[in-house]
């Protein structure tokens, strides 16, 4: 048997054809997903399905880690070009008995403009390509036929996206039209340079290229073209200096109002904000007809569209962010607090959650919340829940169930029914906030161990953070120090946002309820509380709250919701009193899309 042990798993023979079977059979040492840089195990033949699963998961985690946060896609740099204008046409009218018809070349069509439109139906920037090119205009044709205009292109981005134009001098900015031309001409002799520049700008009648350029009328036309170009370039610089594009797209554009449309055109959907205009079409040869030149044999080419580079940043709008080690139960807690509405995968291995997931907590006036209205709900691992659901379906439990419409009472019903979640909770809801479940944070995440710490970027703007620790672990207090240090390494001062320590899996303590075990559990919780009081201080010298809960069995969650509600309310009130300066909100942070920060 060949020895694969020295190669990384991805390079084992057949890694892409039958990777899992072969590799899983070859492994006997269980892989530790917590240790992503562990060396590949020594192959020994063994059959085990769960190993195959572990291997698959490990690959997924590894892949995610290698992206260095780039696939969270809350940051993206796109280079945008408006469509190029169509070329003008050189043609002469032909008709029987008219040997020298007038010039009849049509103008080129305008290049398509590029717009940006916030859409509530999107949640990530992942569908947005990095290079966006507007639709080019059509070329003009004989018999005065103008080219068609390019269609407008709409870039749809999720609500909550901030769009910033990257200024000149920044290395991430791509070149504008003139800089690009300058680059393509670099190193050429002056005569060659002039020739190329003319090639980019003029269309000549066949075989008249050389005679045209010696004519005065062409020289005058060329001079005026360059003058217009200089003016356009100056206007662009001015625009960039005076009103660089900064859009905070957190509101949907009202589509009920009619928008400016050409006279006679039908009402159109709003297209959003114009970011890059298409280039003007070239002029056909009739444009150059004059007393001195009755048969102009040249036309202009279409102008290139505007080229700009935009930095898109998606603010994940979560009020409370969860920070915890892998397997602490963050995802389970998110599901419990949202009544299972937020689907975040739960499993007993590390790094189950690869992307931040946001859920909504809805609270009633009496403090009850949507997730807590059904007593005795258990939030188990995703696979277990799916299997149970399948079994219920196979038993036919849903066969005679009423549909939602059949069972729902009319919306106008004044009955306050807080004992059911979902639709019934609408009437009871008085307050809501959002929470975000994050991937696990481990020691040295800042060194790109585990999944790195770049996902914390989306937590920068959250109003409060909650530490989630596993109370059944031997020393939950050690986790807290690691978490706090990693937060500080990401951004000094970030740990001051933390307001609460949620000690999860409390159900595992206390054994069978015998007195000694219960006393032990109490002592452990007491020790955690003392530790937090002594070592962990939040912003403004506040003490962190400590709440023992069981996310799986939905215990003590009302208290968690109550506390979170006060943090969110506090922070929102403070925001109203002293709104953040515009610049603070829009200040560009370190961009994660940098390949090697």
The residue ranges that bind ligand GTP (CB under 6 A) are 324, 326-332, 346-348, 350-353, 380-381, 439-440, 504-505, 507-508, 550-552
Q: Among residues 146 and 332, whose Cβ is nearest to ligand GTP?
A: 332
**Rounded to the nearest whole angstrom, what is the least distance from the CB of residue 334 to Mg ion in the complex?**
8
Q: What is the DSSP string of 11-63?
A: GSTTTTTSHHHHHHHTB-SPP-TT-TTPPPPPB-----HHHHHHHHHHHHHHH
- Which one among 161, 338, 353, 504 touches Mg ion, defined by CB under 5 A? 353
Given the rule CB under 5 A, which of 37-45, 157-165, 347-355, 570-578 is the region that contacts Mg ion?
A: 347-355
CB closer to Mg ion out of 165 and 437? 437
328 binds, among ligand GTP, Mg ion, none (CB under 5 to 8 A by kind): ligand GTP
Nearer to Mg ion, 343 or 574 (CB): 343
Tell me how far, at minimum, the Cβ of 392 lies from ligand GTP, in Å. 20
Looking only at the bridges linking them, the beta strands covering 298-300 and 429-437 are: unpaired
CB under 5 to 8 A by kind: which of Mg ion, ligand GTP, none does 326 bind?
ligand GTP
Tokens of 281: 């079409």
Closest distance of CB 168 from ligand GTP, Å: 42
Map the footprint of Mg ion across residues 217-236, applying CB under 5 A: none
C-alpha–C-alpha distance, residues 452 and 592, integer Å: 12
**What's the rounded Cα separation, in Å, for the pair 149 and 111?**
6
The option from ligand GTP, Mg ion, none interacting with 117 (CB < 5 to 8 A, set by class) reads none
For ligand GTP, the closer CB: 173 or 379: 379
40-48, 109-117, 182-190, 345-353 -> range binding Mg ion (CB under 5 A): 345-353
Instruction: Show the CA angle centred on residue 475, arms to residues 474 and 476, nearest 5°.
Output: 115
Q: Which is nearer to Mg ion, 330 or 457 (CB)?
A: 330
**Residue closest to 333 by CA, chosen among 304, 292, 362, 371:** 371
285 versus 344: smaller Cβ distance to Mg ion: 344
Size of the site for Mg ion (CB under 5 A): 4
**88, 221 contact by CB (below 8 A):** no
- Closest approach of Cβ 436 to ligand GTP, in Å? 12
Q: Could you give the CA distance from residue 63 to residue 56 in angstroms, rounded to a whole number?
A: 11
Q: How far is the CB of 439 from Mg ion (least distance, A)?
A: 7
CA–CA gap between residue 528 and residue 534 (Å, rounded): 10
Using only the alpha carbons of the chain, give its radius of gyration. 32
Cβ contact 327:247 at 8 Å: no
Sheet with 161-165, strands from edge to edge, namely 131-133, 75-81, 307-314, 161-165, 246-249
Q: How far is the CB of 331 from Mg ion (least distance, A)?
A: 3
Nearest to ligand GTP of 230, 522 (CB atom): 522
The position carrying tokens 């809960």 is 549
Q: How far is the CB of 473 from ligand GTP (least distance, A)?
A: 11
Nearer to ligand GTP, 332 or 434 (CB): 332
Rounded Cα distance, 479 and 469, in Å: 7
Supply the minimum distance, in Å, between the C-beta of residue 322 and Mg ion: 9
| Residue of the chain from 161, 331, 355, 495 that contacts Mg ion (CB under 5 A) | 331
3-state secondary structure 521-555: HHHHHHHHHHHHHHHCECHHHCECEEEECECCCCE
Residues that bind Mg ion (CB under 5 A): 330-331, 352-353
């Amino acid at each position: 048997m060949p020895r694969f042990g020295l190669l990384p798993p991805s390079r084992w023979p057949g890694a892409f054809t039958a990777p899992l079977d072969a590799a899983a059979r070859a492994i006997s040492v269980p892989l530790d997903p917590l240790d992503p840089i562990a060396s590949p195990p020594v192959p020994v033949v063994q059959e085990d399905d769960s190993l195959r699963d572990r291997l698959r998961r490990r690959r997924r985690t590894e892949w995610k880690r290698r992206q260095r946060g780039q696939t969270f896609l809350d940051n993206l740099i796109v280079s945008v070009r408006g469509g190029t204008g169509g070329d003008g046409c050189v043609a002469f009218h032909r008709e029987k008995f008219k040997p020298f018809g007038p010039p009849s070349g049509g103008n080129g069509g305008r290049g398509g403009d590029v717009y940006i439109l916030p859409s509530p139906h999107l949640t990530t920037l992942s569908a947005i390509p990095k290079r966006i090119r507007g639709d080019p205009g059509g070329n003009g044709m004989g018999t005065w036929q103008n080219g068609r205009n390019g269609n407008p292109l709409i870039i749809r981005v999720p609500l909550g996206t901030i769009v910033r134009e990257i200024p000149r001098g920044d290395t991430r900015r791509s070149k504008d039209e003139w800089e690009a031309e300058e680059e393509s001409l670099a190193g050429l002799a002056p005569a060659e340079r002039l020739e190329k520049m003319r090639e980019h700008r003029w269309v000549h009648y066949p075989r008249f290229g050389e005679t045209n350029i010696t004519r005065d009328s062409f020289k005058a036309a060329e001079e005026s073209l360059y003058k217009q170009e200089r003016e356009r370039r100056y206007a662009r610089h001015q625009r960039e200096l005076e009103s660089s594009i900064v859009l905070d797209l957190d509101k949907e554009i009202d589509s009920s109002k009619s928008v400016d449309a050409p006279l006679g055109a039908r009402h159109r959907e709003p297209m959003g904000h114009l970011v890059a205009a298409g280039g003007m079409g070239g002029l056909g040869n009739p444009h150059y007809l004059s007393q001195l030149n009755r048969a102009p044999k040249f036309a202009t080419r279409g102008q290139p569209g505007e080229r700009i580079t935009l930095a898109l940043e998606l603010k994940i709008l979560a009020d409370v962010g969860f920070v915890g080690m892998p397997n602490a139960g963050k995802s389970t807690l998110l599901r419990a607090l949202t009544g299972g509405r937020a689907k975040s995968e739960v499993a007993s291995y590390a790094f189950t959650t690869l992307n931040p997931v946001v859920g909504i907590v809805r609270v009633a006036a009496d403090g009850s919340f949507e997730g807590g209205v059904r007593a005795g709900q258990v939030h188990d691992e995703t696979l277990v829940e799916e299997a149970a659901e399948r079994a219920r379906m196979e038993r036919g439990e849903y066969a005679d169930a009423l549909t939602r419409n059949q069972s729902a009472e009319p919306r106008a019903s004044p009955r306050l029914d807080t004992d059911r979640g979902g639709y019934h909770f609408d009437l009871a809801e008085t307050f809501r906030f959002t929470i975000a479940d994050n991937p696990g944070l481990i020691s040295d995440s800042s060194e790109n161990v585990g999944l790195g710490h770049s996902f914390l970027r989306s937590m920068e703007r959250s109003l409060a953070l909650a530490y989630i620790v596993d109370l059944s672990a031997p020393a939950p207090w050690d986790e807290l120090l690691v978490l706090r240090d990693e937060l500080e390494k990401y951004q000094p001062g970030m740990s001051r946002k933390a307001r609460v320590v949620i000690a999860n899996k409390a159900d595992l303590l206390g054994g069978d309820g015998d007195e000694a075990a219960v006393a032990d559990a109490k002592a452990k919780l007491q020790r955690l509380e003392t530790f937090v009081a002594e070592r962990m201080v939040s912003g403004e010298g506040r003490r962190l709250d400590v709440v023992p809960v069981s996310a799986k069995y939905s215990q003590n969650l009302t208290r968690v919701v109550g506390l979170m509600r006060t943090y969110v309310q506090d922070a929102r009130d403070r925001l109203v009193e002293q709104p953040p300066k515009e610049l603070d909100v829009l200040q560009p942070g370190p961009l994660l899309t940098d390949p090697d920060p």
